[in-house]
Amino acid sequence: MGTNLIVTGMVLNAMPIGDYDKRITLLTKERGRITAFARGARRPNGQLLAAASPFSFGEFELFEGRSTYTAVKATISNYFRELSEDLDAAWYGFYFLEFADYFCQENNDEREMLKLLYQSLRALISERFSNRLVRIVFELKALSINGMAPYVFSCLGCKKKQPLVGFSVRRGGAFCEACQKNAAGCESIDADTLYTMQYVISSPVEKLYSFTVSECVLSRLERLMREYKAAYVNHSFKSAKVLEETEPDSFFC
Ligand SMILES: [Zn+2]
């Protein structure tokens, strides 16, 4: 006989199975990214009807079988219902879920990613931050948590902490005045854009959403992240395509 296990986590996606059931993917504190069978989750008055939906965050009681988990009960503390009333924000939210689904693994410590996901969804709902900024912060921090952040605290060439004035996507980091001439694909980077990247990479997740940037800096960050992801993330996200169709074109300044 298996044992029941309580995990804290968020539903990343839910797939219908047959007429009444679902298979859900959960990002949990305790077991990383896992999938669980949710029996009766599509029945109109099923216990798991609301719980087995994307964005639902809370405690899930799981029956742990030999090779599968089955959701038995859930106590949801946040459904992020605001996202169902704001289609634009919801698409960003779905993109974050897909991003986390791609990067997280079973039995891996994914607590930072779970925290990032939670805080980023809250920031999407908040009026204080533009969705485009939340996306940039989420992407850069997610890459950083997964050990893929660009090198931005000292010069990638000479390792000295002199003023950094260039950034090379190909080399994956920033360069000083002297070294940038020899760095492949190096372009100039302004202090605000660089500082924003440093802040996102070095701040704890709880303090990430505490600033805004000018439209100009946001456009530069978007362009840089687009190129950086193209170079280092070998995956195309379905939900990102929708975002690209709805996002305004960045302007150059
Ligand atoms: Zn240098």
State in Å: Cα 225 to ligand 1 middle: 22
- State the distance from the centre of ligand 1 to the C-alpha of 160, rounded, in angstroms: 6
Tell me yes or no: is domain 3-79 CATH 3.30.479.30.
no
Residues in the chain: 253
User: What's the token pair of residue 237?
Assistant: 């996200």
The tens digit of pLDDT for each residue in 179-224 reads 999 999 999 999 999 999 999 999 999 999 999 999 999 999 999 9
Give dist(CA 78, CA 25) in Å, integer: 17
> How far are the Cα atoms of 51, 77, 153, 180 from residue 10, in angstroms, in the given order?
9, 10, 33, 43
- Render pLDDT for 9-61 as a digit per residue (tens, 0 to 9): 999 999 999 999 999 999 999 999 999 999 999 998 888 988 999 999 999 99
CA-nearest of 226, 251, 223 to 240 is 226
Q: Where are the domains of the chain?
A: 3-79, 85-150+183-246
* Residues paired with 167 in a beta bridge: 174, 187
Q: Which fold has domain 85-150+183-246?
A: de novo design (two linked rop proteins) (1.20.1440)
Question: Mean pLDDT across the chain, nearest whole number?
Answer: 94
| Residue written as token pair 């634009």 | 88
Determine the distance separating the centroid of ligand 1 and the alpha carbon of 96, expressed in angstroms.
35
CA 36 to chain centroid: 21
Do 33 and 108 touch, CB atoms closer than 8 A?
yes
Cα–ligand 1 centroid distance for 19 (angstroms): 62
Backbone angles phi, psi at 179, to 5 degrees: -85, -20
Q: Do domains 3-79 and 85-150+183-246 have the same CATH topology?
A: no
pLDDT reported for residue 13: 97
Q: Does residue 13 contact residue 25 with C-beta atoms inside 8 Å?
A: yes
39: three-class secondary structure by DSSP: coil
What's the pLDDT tens digit per position in 63-91?
Answer: 999 889 999 999 999 999 999 999 999 99
Cα–ligand 1 centroid distance for 88 (angstroms): 42
Query: 250 by DSSP, 3-state: which?
Result: coil
Measure the CA–CA gap between 251 and 206, rounded to whole angstroms.
31
